[in-house]
Amino acid sequence: MPRWKLTTEFTFDSAHYIKDYDGPCGRMHGHSYRVQVEATSNQLHPSEHCPHPVMVADFRSLRWAKKDVTKGGLDHGVLNEILPPEYETTAEMIAKYIYDVTKKRVPEGVKLKVRVSETTNSWVEYEDDDS
Ligand SMILES: [Zn+2]
């Protein structure tokens, strides 16, 4: 079936440490996280800001994590203090957290893929099952 795929990319800067990690990642340090969010759908929807069914999902609902931590995003915060305790602050779990929060903000039926990078040469992906 034909479908639309939106992709948006943004960065945020935050501090974190990996609990009980025996090595440098266990000490507080920072990253410029790069995030890509893909939203796929075979139908279009209205959004909070537009009453007409003309978009897969509002780009604003895909880019919330870029906002300052005091405004509900992840920028310039300590991820260990922002993420609920069931999420560790590995790139894997940051991707899952962004996925989980974004999923609640996009219309039902929109498939998501979230990629997170802490460094220029490594990425993690978390996505909906295609089956
Ligand atoms: Zn790190």
Yes or no: domain 4-127 corresponds to CATH 2.60.120.10 = no
| Cα 107 to ligand 1 centre (Å) | 32
Compute the distance between CA of residue 18 and CA of residue 26 in angstroms, rounded to an integer: 5
Tokens 């609990």 locate to 19
Kindly give the confidence (pLDDT) of every residue in the chain, 131 residues in length, as a single tens digit, with 9 standing for 90 and above: 899 999 999 999 999 999 999 999 999 999 999 999 999 999 999 998 999 999 999 999 999 999 999 999 999 999 999 999 999 999 999 999 999 999 999 999 999 999 999 999 999 999 998 75
Please tell me which residue in 9, 25, 48, 88 is annotated as part of the active site.
Answer: 25
| Cα 25 to ligand 1 centre (Å) | 5
25 is catalytic: yes
Cβ contact 33:77 at 8 Å? no
What local confidence, expressed as pLDDT, does residue 131 receive? Answer: 55
| Cα 89 to ligand 1 centre (Å) | 8
Residues facing residue 20 across a β-bridge? none
Q: Which residues in 17-85 belong to E strands, given as ranges?
A: 29-41, 45-47, 50-55
Please tell me which residue in 9, 45, 76, 125 is annotated as part of the active site.
Answer: 76
Distance between start and end Cα atoms, the chain: 14
What local confidence, expressed as pLDDT, does residue 122 receive? Answer: 95
50 is catalytic: no
